[in-house]
Amino acid sequence: MATTKQQLADERDLEDLISIGPATRRDFEMLGIRTVAELAKQDPQTLYDNLCRKTRTRQDPCVLDVLQAAVAQARNPKLPADQCQWWYWSKIRKQKA
């Protein structure tokens, strides 16, 4: 039987995602995200906005890049390695500015 992307996503832990360290894990806990499957359903910008609201602090824009990388990985277990890195998303964000 073939394994779907969603099944692969459901088997991973948040710690398995590249660019996710202890600080981001704490952010996910604050935001109520406990699994890769839950993360896959999220919008990175909304997560960032909610984190800023909960901490009452404008987070560094690089936090948004980390969230972008995490959500992309959660949605696609076979994401190209460069897209798993937060700085890939940082370049994209800066190009849009």
Residues 48-88 pLDDT 10s: 999 999 999 999 999 999 999 999 999 999 999 999 999 99
Question: What pLDDT, on the 0 to 100 scale, is given for residue 1?
Answer: 47
Query: Quick one: pLDDT at residue 96?
Result: 87
5-96 is a CATH 1.10.287 domain = no
If one counts every other C-beta atom within 10 angstroms of the C-beta of residue 96, the result is 6
Residue 26 CA to its chain's centroid (Å): 13
> Where are the strands (E) in the chain, listed by range?
none
And the tokens for 94?
A: 């800066």
- List pLDDT tens digits, range 18-56: 989 999 999 999 999 999 999 999 999 999 999 999 999
pLDDT at 71: 97
pLDDT band per the 50, 70, 90 thresholds, residue 7: low
CA distances from 84 to 17, 51, 57 (A): 8, 21, 26
